[in-house]
Structure 1
Amino acid sequence: MEKTERLNAILDLLAAQGQVLVEDIVSQLEVSPATARRDLDALAAQRLLTRTRGGARMDAVAYDLPSRYARDDQAAQKQAIAQAASALVPKGAVIGLCGGTTSTAIAHALGMRRDLMETSSKPTLTVVTNAINIAAQLVVRPNIRVMVTGGVVNPRSYELVGPYTDTILQRVALDLAFVGVNGLDPEVGPTINDEAEAAVNALMSRRASQTYVVADSSKIGARSFATLSGFNFSNLITDSGITAEEKAAFEAAGTKVIVAGA
């Protein structure tokens, strides 16, 4: 296993367990104790973890996300959606990822794809995002180029919003964009709790050749405060919790529905 893969694997162990011991790395990654310690020191130098006696723990800056990221009742559904979304992304593509728990799951799925970890003279993927947690998650993948929009951070969601965000997005062209929402209705379309985040999501959608709304089935039928102005909603990735009637209503409105895991 190459160093980049080892570092990614150690971060995944930390994300799952909160802490890791040198002996865990030795047994799970089949490396020597000296290699395990050097890898932990390298990640500590990047401030991606905090070294402890015999191992490491999560770094608070890198991993202390809002509670909605840490405790998610729809986590299994979002993982299925993330895998379906990742399968749509070809190597070398330029994609947009707005913030939110489902988009974060997509970032994780992309970061674990072996074809995107292969050594290359060019980026295997370019990700444009307004979510600083997604940027931090992907920046440790050296073959993935990450572009972060400017803007003001919304502390509730870790998303950048405002005119600086708009300025950057207006200068990029995306192959694909994945947009998370708080509510989804076949008549009203996708809606967001925060009007500033809705404006960013709409602009990112318009900058992409193809945009997919990603929403677990608990969001269907719900309506939030702000619509995505100027966005033609035509693709949805959801989970198997969507009913036949709901799927038919979206398709009748002209939306292609991809049911993850079906």
Structure 2
Amino acid sequence: MNRSERSNIILATLAREGSVDVERLVEELSVSPATVRRDLDGLAERQLLVRTHGGATRGSLAYDLPERYRLDDDGAKRAIASLASSLVSRGMVVGLSGGSTTDMLAQMLGMRADLRDDTGRAALTVVTNSVNIASTLAVRPHIKVVVSGGVMHPHSYELVGPFAEATLGQLTCDLSFIGVNGISEEGVFSVDEESEAVVNALIARRARRAYVVADGGKLGASAFATLPAVPGLGLITDDAAPAGMVSALREAGTEVTVAVAAGALHATA
């Protein structure tokens, strides 16, 4: 395992748990304490963590770790993103909010060979308020990237506020995919910040068809800000989602599609 791979694991653990310690990392990474300390010192120099006596924390850093520093091998998110990608075809305008699953979806769209040709013209347009997603797709000449204006949220790297809302309000998408932090049995979706809730709902509303993309762990969870209602908003999740929650959502009128690791899907309602 090289230093970059170790750093990804360290940062993913830090993003998930808020702190790491040297002894645990030595065991997980199968390297010496000196190697772990050097890795932590290097990440601290890049201001990606705060060193402590026995390890590191996020400390008082005023941001969450960017998605590009997190592990991208989550099987559930990959299955969801793959299914969402299969709904996208050439010539579409696709709206994407920020989030780890939408970021993975953007990566998949960027790598799809069927969206590239020899003309040099964009075969797909992606509208996003996510700085991370815009950066991911910037090197893909077959994808036209439209970025909303707005103020960058320090925790999610999403553009929010009146400028974002004004830009997105003038656009129409064929499909939109948005991320959330919580989903109730009644089909109420929530995120951590009220400004993101407004913009995410707007991205969904400006599409002819819109889906929340969220792994099963989000079902039954709740977050601070509820998304304004979006008629017909569907959900794409994975097969780890609690069956009772899936049934309750369908009974409440939410179309739920369940992706499995092999890329197949369960029945929808």
Counterpart of 2:197?
Answer: 198
Deviations 1:40-63 (A, max 9, x none): xxxxxxxxxxxxxxxxxxxx8xxx
Measure how far apart 1:90 and its partner are: 1.1
Q: Which runs of 5+ in 2 are unaligned?
A: 8-45, 47-62
Q: CA deviation at 1:222?
A: 0.6
Q: RMSD across aligned C-alpha pairs, in angstroms? A: 2.6
Which one of 60, 65, 69 corresponds to residue 67 of structure 1? 65
State the percentage of identical aligned residues. 46
* 1:195-231 Cα deviation digits (max 9, x unpaired): 0000000111110000000000010001111111131
Q: Secondary structure at the match of 2:106?
A: helix
Structure 1: how far apart are the matches of 2:153 and 2:171? 22
What's the offset of the Cα at 1:187? Answer: 1.5
Distance 1:143 1:234 in 2: 28
Instruction: Tell me the amino acid that sits aligned with residue 236 of structure 1.
Output: L
CA distance in 1, matches of 2:188, 2:71: 23
Question: 1:210 & 1:119 partners in 2: Cα distance?
Answer: 30
The residue number in structure 1 matching 2:186 is 187
How far has the Cα of 1:68 moved from its partner? 6.1
Q: Do the aligned partners of residues 159 and 235 (structure 1) sit closer, same or farther apart at CA in structure 2, a change above 3 Å counting?
A: same
Report the secondary structure of 2:125's partner residue: strand
Alignment of 1:178 with 2:177, yes or no, is yes
Counterpart residue number, 1:77: 76
> Structure 1: any 5+ residue segments left out of the alignment?
1-14, 19-59
SS of the equivalent of 2:81 reads helix
Say if 1:189 and 1:233, in contact at 8 Å, map to a contact too. Answer: no
Aligned partner of 1:246 in structure 2 is 245
Q: How many residues align?
A: 206
Would you identify which runs of 4 or more consecutive aligned residues in structure 1 move more than 4 Å? Answer: 15-18
Structure-1 residue corresponding to 2:104: 105
Point out the more displaced range, 183-192 or 101-110: 183-192
Query: Who is 1:230 aligned against?
Result: 229
Give the secondary-structure state (helix, strand or coil) at the position aligned to 2:199: helix
**3-state SS of paired residue (1:86):** helix
Contact 2:82–2:105 (Cα < 8 Å) also in 1 = yes
Maintained 8 Å contact 2:216/2:241: yes
Alignment of structure 1 residues 27-176 onto 2, 5 Å? 66-67=64-65, 69=67, 70-71=69-70, 75-120=74-119, 122-176=121-175
8 Å contact from structure 2 (residues 191, 226) kept in 1: yes
Question: Residues 247 and 166 of structure 1: is their aligned pair in 2 closer, same or farther, counting only changes over 3 Å?
Answer: same
What amino acid is the match of 2:238? D
How many angstroms apart in 2 are the aligned matches of 1:164 and 1:67?
Answer: 25
Other structure's SS at 1:67 match: coil
> Residues 188, 245 of structure 1: CA spacing in aligned structure 2 closer, same or farther, 3 A cutoff?
closer
Letter in 2 for 1:67: L
TM-score normalised by the chain length of structure 1: 0.73
In the alignment, the residues of structure 2 paired with residue 233 and residue 190 of structure 1 have an alpha-carbon distance, to the nearest angstrom, of: 13
Query: Are 2:267 and 1:260 equivalent residues in the alignment?
Result: no
- Output the TM-score relative to the length of structure 2: 0.71
